[in-house]
Copies of this chain bind each other. A is one copy, B any other.
Amino acid sequence: MKHYGFFRSSAAFRLRIALNLKGVAAEHVLVNFAKQEQFGDSYKSVNPQARVPSLLLDDGTVLIQSLAIIEWLDETHPNPPLLPKDAKGRARVRGLANLIACDIHPLNNISILNYLRDKLQVPEPARNEWYRHWIAQGFDALEALLADSKDTGKFCQGDAPGIADICLVPQVFNAQRYECPLGGYPTLMRVFDACMKLPAFDTAQPMKQPEAAFIK
């Protein structure tokens, strides 16, 4: 099994956490965004969308999109589970995960930031404000949803980490990198801290990946 990723990609970070939690080994293949390798023919023959992560299975099947891959991992390697057993709990966790994966993260993707810079000539301070705006808007909602629910435990859902936590942690890393104020999110940050105590999350972080040593 091969995991195509890049240390700074939040979506690849999610998959690294999930693989760690499941104890599944996958060979890491670096797609070097600093060299625009994602747009090369070699990688586009793996994933025509030119994004990471992709997971190449031993039979040659390629899976794309982090959440689709993580659901596959959860179905094929059920322990420990990353989703609750009951349908309502699963809907809650998927809802929290999608709030991040659909309504925060895509707006701050590198391709969007480059478009703002190159096509729309948006200067850096306004690009940073854009970045922080979508995080604040999403985290406001997320904090309300977490703080108001009896389903929130040590983690987003109960006392074991799952798909919502897997999306939350890389998004908090992005928020910290862009110096977003996080004081208004005590529940969210409590969950983040609990996650970061687990080696599965800690060792998946960008600066602990091999390529962090030689790529800025």
Contact = CB atoms under 8 A, between A and B. Distances in A.
Interface string A56-100: 010001011101110110011000000000011011101101110
A68 B50 contact: no
Contact of A91 (B48, B68, B94, B130): B68
Given A76-B87, A87-B72, A88-B72, A65 B144 contact: no
Interface residue SS majority, chain A? helix
Interface stretch (A103-111, A175-183, A191-199): A103-111
A141 B48 contact: yes
Given A50-B141, A144-B48, A90 B72 contact: yes
B120 A126 contact: yes
Q: Contact residue range for chain A? A: 35 or more
Interface of A: 48-51, 57, 61, 63-65, 67-69, 71-72, 75-76, 87-88, 90-92, 94-95, 97-99, 101-103, 105-107, 109, 111-112, 115-116, 119-120, 122, 126, 129-130, 133, 137-138, 140-141, 144-145, 148
Given A63-B95, A71-B91, 15 more contacts: A49-B99, A61-B88, A63-B91, A64-B95, A65-B94, A65-B98, A67-B94, A67-B102, A71-B90, A72-B90, A101-B102, A103-B109, A119-B129, A119-B133, A120-B120
17 contacts: A49-B138, A49-B145, A51-B103, A61-B88, A65-B94, A65-B99, A68-B92, A68-B95, A75-B90, A102-B102, A102-B106, A107-B112, A119-B126, A119-B129, A120-B120, A120-B122, A120-B130
